[in-house]
Amino acid sequence: MSETITIGVNHITRVEGHGNIKVDVQNGEVKECKLEIVEAPRFFEAMLEGRHYSEAAIITSRICGICSVGHQLASVRATEDAFGIELTKQNHQLKTLLDMGQYFESHVLHVYFLAVPDFVGAPSVFPLVATHKDVVLSALKLKKLGHDIGEMIGGRLVHPISMIPGGFTHMPTVKKLEEILNRIQDAKEELKNGVKLVSSLTLPDFERETEYISMYRDGEYAFIDGNIFSSDRGEISYKDYRKVTNEYLVPHSTAKRAKFSRHSYMVGALARFNNNYKYLSDDAKQAAEDLGLKPKYYNPYMNTVAQLVELIHIVDNSTEIINDMLAKGIKNEKPVIPELKECAGVGAVEVPRGILFHEYTYDKNGFITKANCIIPTAQNLQNIEDDMNDMVPDSIKKRTKEELTLDLEMLVRAYDPCISCSCHLLDVEFVNE
Amino acid sequence: MSKPKVAFFDFTSCEGCQLSILNLETELLELLDIVDIVEFREAMSEKSDTFDIAVIEGSYSRDSDLGRLKEIRETAGVVVALGACAHIGGLNALRNSQQREDLLKKVYPDHPDWYETNEKALPISAAIKVDAVVPGCPVDVKEFVHVVKNLVLGKDPGLPTYPVCVECKLNENICVYELGKTCLGPVVRAGCNAVCTSNGGVCIGCRGLIPNPNLNSQKDIMQKYGLDIQRIIDSVNLFMTENAREVQ
Amino acid sequence: MMTAVLEKQATKDNIILGMKKAMSEYDIAALTKKEGKVLFDYIDDVNKIELEYTPTVLSPKKFFFPQEEVILEYTMEGKVQAKINYRKMVLFGVRPCDITGIQILDEAFAESNGDPNYLTKRENSVIIGIDCNSVCDENAFCYKVNSQYPDGGFDIMLHDLGNSYAMTIATDKGETFAEQYFDSGKVDSEAMEEFLRVKEHAFVKAGGPFEELENLPEIFAENEHHPIWESEAERCLSCGSCIMVCPTCYCFDVIDELALSMKIGDRLRRWDACMLRSFAEVAGGENFREEVKNRVKHRINRKFNFLMKKHGKSVCVGCGRCVRSCLADISPVTIVEALTKTSKQMRLAEKNNELYLPVKAFIRKIVQFTEKEKFFELELENGKSLNHQPGQFILLSIFGIGEAAISISSPPSFGNRFDIVVRAVGDVTNKLHTLEEGDFVFIRGPFGHGFDESIQRKMEGKHILFIAGGIGYVPLRSLINFTLKQKEDYGRISILYGCKSPEDRMYKDELDYISTIGGNVTLLETVDTADKSWLKNTGVITSLIPMVKFHPENTLAVVCGPPVMYKFVIKTLNDQGLSNENIYVSLERRMKCGVGKCGHCQLDDIYVCQEGPVFRFSDIEDKEEAL
């Protein structure tokens, strides 16, 4: 490949939202290598101002369709934190199950529909209907399970209905839980095939150690309710999330960026895997081994693989939760009605793409005076750009422009970025072409 | 007869409607028997210069999007507005009551001038002609399939003109007003199978108003059930900013 | 189809056991709880049956006329077949209002073009009702349209007698079912009578039927332009809820659904609602019922006018569902009452050509009460009920002789018949005494102001002192029986009755029965003279008053008798501390026209035939002619 190239991918595909990749290499020297976020600004923080506490989750859910469960969880947790509402065990279980439903849907969508086509050289999942029908059907079935778990708990998976601050307005029936439990067992077999499929694929060989940030809770692979954990610094209170995220703006992105101990950090499946490995279920650990994944793993392309490992863990964890609920019986708990007061609270939740924070300040009548939402993809953006800058000078010597373009697109996709959330991402643009 | 080509596009939105369509699972494959999906950025890298049906998600909130919208309109025989953002501005329009400059300063305080946005977030019908609508936030996928099927059949995809109450009653729900909550169901277009009220929620108006809604009576009822006028406007504002003024 | 009505009885446990057994042959639908709501649904366990009624959102009509059903299946190649889905089922625990609703739908779907989808489902169903003996909530108004007593629409009706159910078996289907599944025995007729008494009391107390129930079609026709249509329409949201929940609405839409394969499809019917704007819109966009006002009017008219004429009874069954579901508080009751009131006023304001026109009535029964007094049971030729209050009177004519004012002695809601007791003292009454059962007379009325609802309300909880002299028992009898029927509504009921001799006593059997009731009911009798066989008191009626202990502030006296009696009775009551505000009298006057014109009955500025004959004594005590 020539020493002078420019790459420009506008509107990167198979990611959620709109973003571009821009690379400018002059005489072997990387002049520019950046990830532009061109999603239209949506002003959610401003729209939240003056809204009633009961509407916060409804509004923030619409930040992103794929992450709507995550936003609702973070929003509801922030409001509950503000008003001092403690979660009952059942409420915690329902929220975790809802989160897991989303993981299922989102990870399956990412692994099978968005990432796998790259590895088999297809532009999308649709041509695979002809060539790999069994894989597509298996993926559809798995995705439907995630969707149905979400529907069982939240009424629907995209913009759920039943979760409100203080509890749930609708309880799953025993019959439904039993049905889902059976399907989760079947899913495990399907996922084993997925492990076989993915272990046969070759991922780009690229490593860069970075700071890994995730949620941490003693004794479990944390999804909701826990503190922040940094691979560099250890545990930090969730209330101090601002000390970790340190948001700042760059001119080429409508999404804000974040940094903590280093120039950038990574959140998401690989960060969770690296930080919480010991709490994975035995079968998930086994799958990780089969897939050649061990902590600490520094290849960002392996984020997709870590997602698959997480799917196995979720099968085991959700089975445990549902069995416990069935054994104890489902209580018809009415949502707690908060006592209004001037207050503020933080909700931190692990969602498929990483740790998500919402923070609200309420006036004495329960209306929002200030809101802040920090999205996983926004936290990852600088890390992706740093990966690109690390990779490109070496790669331009070995790879063709087309290969490099694909490498970069795949890198961005590996992070499973959600640009609607961060605000929207993807197209690689090579300047001076 | 060749299958109609369908292309998906998105503007200012959360892409939840497109995701809902991907959630069709097996019906998605059946749908592929009657149409060819030629562009769907969220799920595929292929792009196409020609298509018969353009399905557009998202609101129109930047002048720089106008060119692309017009191109789509010129290429497509039929333009379908997908979801509340494209149909009525959606939740994006919630910001329309604030000044553009104030918004930019609030969210990007250090560099408000770096970002492009119009004064208002509007339905795509504000930019181009729309032939059919699939309302909702997110859309009801059954209704989406119904609309596409009818477009392929050449039949008016006629949406319900009656309010959510009808479907809510058919589902035998206890009226949320009886449970001490308020709801926009009596004036909002059905077609969602009253999914929110059937799951312990209330109708928040994402599908827009029915033709000839009795907003006066709706306001009186909400007041009778304890909401002050500001909360009533707020609740209408959530998805139907343009109608909130009528309530006042 | 009604066959001979059978009455049987079985324990509740046995009925539930029977339902369990029936599950082998039938699908069972019953009132049950599901996700926090009570509704009619198919059950898989008889323990899930809710026996206590909570009003449901939808009526059980959905089992025979589902929200949506496929009526045709077709292929695009042109194959087509009719589709009827049905299950062999028992619908258990339907309440009288909904049974009346099903009865109406049975007629509607059977008439002219019998609807196979509905009728097949009905043929394959057994309906077991559970009777109500109270009004389920404040929105129900079954008693205003008399739907609480269905005369069809069920196979078996269960009446709650505590640990067991009495069964009214109305059809052969019901009889076969009961024989197969229930161990039934003889009805405890006393308990059954008590059930019916409690039931009647509850519904009478709730308010009784609409004032002019039978005339509603005419009243609605007269009130096409009533302002209430406008004012209700202003609030109406056109949301269609009232129609969705109505047990007798049966309009539907027909829709073609092609499968995604585009090769096969269904034609289905789905509930539609005339309250929805698009209901009467034709393809060109023209809407024949565009205004909300016209839609509200159409909906209510279907219930009380258009279809009422066809079915011969109110098509609204008063289940209250539309009232419960209407956020704008639109109620058929308000509308019916407003229209009735206007019609009555219009009739008052208009020249009434029928003011002096009597209607024919047949004598159905005659009993010789005393030497001079006879009892007559009458029935109007037009089949209507007299619809009177206790204390009102009629004018009875015998052509060629003349007209006479006669008190009505039967209590209200006695069906189509009513009683009078007549002493032969004048031309008309003498002639009447010569007539026989089957002969006819002519009737005008009821006239006057009786013991209306406001007086009845004042009586509740009080000690009621009835004081009747001689034939004065007759005008009071209607009220006495009315209060005895619901005796627990009153503190005590004391009936004081005086006659000249034991032979002059009216309603001897009834008096003897009253004396056995006991509890809070006391009957004291006296006669002026008697032989030794008379074991009760002798002496004037005032001598009975001190024998009754009463608290003047909590007592209400009702007095009727010969003119001479009043002065002495009232004085004695006053002496015992009872004020004139708490004394009601029924006055006798000469009456010729009965409609406040002829002047014979005038008491100063008062027409007794209009404002009386019942008065609160304090209202007339200053008038010299009063007593």
Q: Is the pLDDT of residue A425 over 50?
A: no
Give this prediction's pTM.
0.77
Distance CA A323, CA A326 (A): 5
The SS3 call for residue A353 is: coil
Distance from C-alpha of A35 to C-alpha of A21, rounded to nearest angstrom: 5
Interface A–C counts its CB contacts (< 8 A) at 4
| Cβ contact A169–B32 (<8 Å) | no
Chain B positions in Cβ-Cβ contact with residue C235 (cut-off 8 Å): 214, 217, 220
Tell me whether strands C89-94 and C27-34 are parallel, antiparallel or unpaired.
Answer: parallel
CA dist A376 and A351 (Å) reads: 8
Q: How many helices (DSSP H) and strands (DSSP E) are in chain B?
A: 10, 5
Rounded alpha-carbon distances, angstroms, from residue C239 to B163, B171, B184, B215, C68: 6, 15, 11, 12, 19
Residue C572 Cα to chain centre, angstroms: 39
Task: Flag if B165 and C244 touch (Cβ within 8 Å).
Answer: yes
Which site among C57, C235, C237, C294 would you substitute to test the B interface, given the most B Cβ atoms closer than 10 Å to its Cβ?
A: C237
Contacts of A46 in chain B (CB under 8 A): 95, 98, 102-103, 106-107
Instruction: Choose the closest CB to C237 out of B153, B169, B187.
Output: B187
Least CA distance to C34: which residue of chain A?
A: A173
Q: Which of B8-12, C97-101, C320-324, C413-417 has the lowest mean pLDDT?
A: C413-417
**Looking at per-residue confidence, does B118 or A169 come out higher?**
A169
Contact list in A for residue B195 (CB cut-off 8 A) is: 155-156, 161
Residue A109 pLDDT = 86
Chain centroid offset of residue A69 CA: 11
pLDDT value of residue C3:
47
Q: Using the beta-carbon criterion (under 8 Å), do B166 and C273 form an inter-chain contact?
A: yes
Q: What is the strand order of the sheet C614-616 is part of?
A: C537-538, C521-527, C492-499, C463-469, C555-560, C583-586, C614-616
Residue C52 Cα, gap to closest chain B Cα (Å): 18
Identify the structural domains of chain A with CATH numbers, from first to last.
41-381 (1.10.645.10)
Taking CA A381 as the corner, what is the angle to CA A379 and CA A386, rounded to the nearest 5 degrees? 115
- The residue extents of the domains of chain C are 1-67+85-236+286-350, 359-447, 453-620
- Which positions in chain B touch A255 (Cβ < 8 Å)? none
Q: Report the alpha-carbon distance of residue B160 to residue B163 in Å, rounded.
A: 8
Chain A residues whose CB is inside 8 A of the B29 CB are 129, 140
- How much is the pLDDT for A12? 64
Q: C453-620: which CATH topology? A: Rossmann fold (3.40.50)
**Nearest CA-CA distance, residue C19 and chain B, Å:** 25
Residues of chain A positioned with their CB less than 8 A from the CB of C36: 332
Q: Is the pLDDT of residue C150 over 50?
A: yes
Q: Which residues of C touch A171 (CB under 8 A)?
A: 35
The two structure tokens encoding residue C123? 């043929």
The yes-or-no verdict on residue C57 having pLDDT over 90 is: yes
Which of B153, B214, B220 lies closest to C258 in CB terms? B153
Q: What does the DSSP assignment read for B66-80?
A: HHHHHHHHHH-SEEE
C56 interaction partners in chain B (CB closer than 8 Å): 172
Assigned architecture for domain B5-153: 3-Layer(aba) Sandwich (3.40)
pLDDT, tens digit (0-9, with 9 covering 90-100), for A322-357? 999 999 999 989 999 999 999 999 999 999 999 999
User: Are the Cβ atoms of B43 and A68 closer than 8 angstroms?
Assistant: no
Whether ipTM tops 0.95, in short, is no
Residue of A nearest to B179 (CA): A169
Which chain B residues contact residue A254 at CB under 8 A? 115
Which residue among B30, B149, B163 sits closest to C239, beta carbon to beta carbon?
Answer: B163
* pLDDT for the residue A153: 95
d(CA C65, CA C350): 46
Q: Which of B108, B15, B200 is nearest to A62 (CA)?
A: B15
Can you read off the two tokens belonging to residue C323?
A: 């009232």
Which pLDDT band holds residue C319 (cuts at 50, 70, 90)? very high
| pLDDT value at residue C284 | 72
> What is the nearest CA distance from A227 to chain B, expressed in angstroms?
26
Q: Out of B17, B45, B115, name the one closest to residue A123 (CB).
A: B45
Higher-pLDDT residue of A423 and C228 is: C228
- Decide: helix, strand or coil at residue C265: strand
Interval A225-246 mean pLDDT: 93
Residue B48 has pLDDT above 90, yes or no: no
The reply to whether residue A109 touches residue B137, judged by beta carbons under 8 angstroms, is no
* Among the partner residues A46, A156, A249, nearest to B98 by beta-carbon distance: A46
How far apart CA A185 and CA A182 sit, in angstroms, is: 5
Kindly identify which residue of chain C lies nearest to residue B214, measuring between CA atoms: C237
Cα separation of B218 and B241, whole Å?
16
Out of B175-189, C328-342, C394-408, which region has the weakest mean confidence (pLDDT)? C394-408
- Which sequence spans correspond to the domains of chain B? 5-153, 164-247
Q: How far apart are CA A429 and CA A21, in angstroms?
A: 5
Angle, to 10 degrees, between the axis of helix B26-34 and the axis of helix A133-154? 120
- Pairs of CB atoms within 8 A across A/B: 165
pLDDT score of C80 more than 90: yes
Q: Which chain A residue lies closest to B25 (C-alpha atoms)? A: A140
Instruction: Give how far B217 is from chain C: nearest CA, Å.
Output: 5
- Whether residues A173 and C35 touch (CB distance < 8 A) is answered with yes
- Whether the per-residue pLDDT at A179 is higher than 70: the answer is yes
For residue range A295-328, what is the model confidence (pLDDT) as tens digits? Answer: 888 999 999 999 999 999 999 999 999 999 999 9
- Above pLDDT 70, what percent of chain A? 91
In chain A, what's the furthest Cα-to-Cα distance?
Answer: 69
Q: Tell me the chain B residues in contact with residue A112 when contact means C-beta distances shorter than 8 Å.
A: none
Q: Is A45 on the interface with B (CB under 8 A)?
A: yes
Chain C adjacent subunits, 3+ CB pairs under 8 A:
A, B
A170 chain-C contacts, CB cut-off 8 A: 35
Q: Provide the shortest C-alpha distance from residue C232 to chain B (in Å).
A: 11
pLDDT in tens, C2-41: 445 778 899 999 999 999 999 999 999 999 998 878 999 9
| pLDDT digits 0-9 by tens, C324-379 | 999 999 999 999 999 999 998 888 776 667 778 889 999 999 999 888 889 999 99
Question: Rounded to whole angstroms, what are the CA distances from B68 to A252, B49, B128?
Answer: 21, 12, 11
A396 and A227 in contact (C-beta within 8 Å)? no
Beta carbons of C35 and A332 less than 8 Å apart: no
pLDDT at residue B127 tops 80: yes
Q: What is the pLDDT of residues C105-123, one digit of tens each?
A: 999 999 888 999 999 999 9
CA distance C60 to chain B (A): 12
Q: Which residues of A touch C35 (CB under 8 A)?
A: 170-171, 173
Q: What's the CATH class of domain C359-447?
A: mainly beta
Contact criterion met (CB < 8 Å) for A14 and B42: yes
Does A156 reach chain B within 8 Å, measured CB to CB?
yes
Nearest to B43 among A42, A124, A161 (CB): A124
Distance CA C586, CA C561 (A): 8
Q: Which of A50, A158, A251 sits opposite B19 (nearest CB)?
A: A158
State pLDDT tens for residues C594-611.
777 777 777 777 888 888
Q: Identify the pLDDT of residue A17.
A: 63
CB contact, 8 Å: A183 with chain B?
no
**Mean of per-residue pLDDT scores for chain C:** 90
Q: Kindly state the percentage of chain B with pLDDT values over 70.
A: 93
Flag if A161 and B94 touch (Cβ within 8 Å).
no
Tokens of residue C172, six digits: 């052969």
What backbone phi and psi angles, to 5 degrees, belong to C169? -105, 115
